[in-house]
A and B are shown apart, each in its own frame.
Chain A
Amino acid sequence: MASYRQPGWPWPYGHQKSGETKIDANRSPVETTTTPALENDLIARLAPDPTEPAQTDQPPRPGSGSLLGQVSSQNPAPNLPEMNLVRGPAESSAGVLPRSRGTTALDHPDEQEDTILLRTKVEELQNQLRQLNAQKEELSAQNIKLRTSMKDVLDRYDKSEADNSNLRAHIVSISKPPGQVNDDGFYIQKLNWLNEFTQQWVAGAFKGQRGQALESQKELELQRLLEKYNAGRALLELMQRSHTTLQTIYRIPDRRIALVRQLIAMFLSVYIFRPFCVGVRDDVSDILEETITHVFENGT
């Protein structure tokens, strides 16, 4: 038994001796029945005392040497939490290795070192497991957070889609935005048409022959007509200054055409385009036009 303490002692697994603890190779070595503190105590007690002479081939005294057997029976199985190790087939249902009353595997220094190494490894694995569990919890929390966030995004998307649909329906339903109904080009085109139509029609209908005389009665009526309008009176004044008469104008087709166009322009201006609205009496139209003009120019 003293040779158990010698360095270089071969690993006893597979070389079972009578009275030694049989260790199943399939069994995890960390699943011993002793607690770490107890094992350390045992290792200290089993270590050879340098002050005492070496005892050889003496069986261990009951109650003093190998205490593992007693301890095994007296102490419950060690509690190794968080370890999900697979138990070997040879392991008993109690999870306790059968031990002899004699020496155990812990009596061997190599086994002791292996046990320590394995214990260290177990602790590392436990730490890793704790870290992994912590990471798992953290990831789980993140997952829940992301799912909540994703749900919010989807809800907002649905709401935006509904708003968009309502907005499109509203855009379709609304009429033309307030502002000028027809652009300036519309009015320019219409006015140019009116001018050209008048010009062509008058040129064809009133051309006549050169030198054709205007009847006196018609000349008089024409003069009275012109006197009714401001533009007509201005024309008559200029004609008088330039020693021109309606008769002389009428005799030359181009001048006659110009005079007809002047009359049409005067009529259109006075009766159609100058009034606030076609058909409105002059006094009403004047009031409306004055009001609008005043407000437009003065703002009040």
Chain B
Amino acid sequence: MLVIRQALGRGVFKKYKPHQVETKAVLVAGFEENLQLLLPTPQDIRPKLEKLIDGAIELANSMTTEQSFFKCKLISAGAEFNSRYMYVPEEKQTGLVYMCTFPRFSKMVISDGKPVSQNLVDASVELESVFREHP
């Protein structure tokens, strides 16, 4: 199954790799435009943004052509906190998940004949209490 997944991924990657330069340019432009809404002071964020997206695309391509089945999941706001696959920067935070600042990455494996999710990186989250308090 994983070999088929890998073969399919490699075939698709071969087809789309020549177009990824263009895709990257579109993504950088779109990210930049949206993130500039939240910039407190005007500044050039493109170099860092390009570096970030370059690293992300390179990693995603490795996953696409890998003989594994990776999953990326962004935790939705309002979800219950689960320490098995979520990480909070401060332990004193309480409440529901308010924001997910980095998605959870896992790998699907077959265990006892059934597909199960094997955690790679926990999702980084901020809980409700952070946004409830008033300064």
A and B part of one assembly: yes
Please give the residue numbers on chain A whose beta carbons come within 8 Å of chain B beta carbons, in ascending order: 178-182, 184, 186-188, 190-195, 197-199, 201, 205-210, 212, 214, 218, 221-222, 225, 230-231, 234-235, 237-239, 242, 244, 249-250, 252-256, 258-269, 271-280, 288, 292, 295-297, 299
B48 within 8 A of A: yes
CA distance A194 to B27 in the complex (A): 16
Number of residues on chain B facing chain A (CB within 8 A): 70
| Cβ–Cβ contact B132 & A242, under 8 A | yes
B86 within 8 A of A: no
B94 within 8 A of A: no
A256 vs chain B, min Cβ distance (A)? 6
Please give the residue numbers on chain B whose beta carbons come within 8 Å of chain A beta carbons, in ascending order: 1, 3-5, 8-9, 12-13, 16, 19-20, 22-23, 27, 30-31, 34-35, 37-41, 43, 45, 48, 51-53, 55-57, 59-70, 72-74, 76-78, 96, 98-103, 105, 107-108, 115, 120-121, 124, 126, 128, 130-132, 135
Closest to B78 in A: A238
Neighbouring A residues of B5 by C-beta, 8 Å: 292, 296
| Cβ–Cβ contact A235 & B56, under 8 A | no
Neighbouring A residues of B30 by C-beta, 8 Å: 267
Neighbouring B residues of A182 by C-beta, 8 Å: 62, 66
| Cβ–Cβ contact A222 & B8, under 8 A | no
Closest to A232 in B: B77
Other-chain residue from B35, B51, B121, B135 in contact with A188 (beta carbon distance below 8 A): B121
Closest to A276 in B: B12
Q: Knowing A206-B40, A256-B38, say if A266 contacts B59 (CB, 8 Å).
A: no
Neighbouring B residues of A212 by C-beta, 8 Å: 40
CA distance A267 to B60 in the complex (A): 13
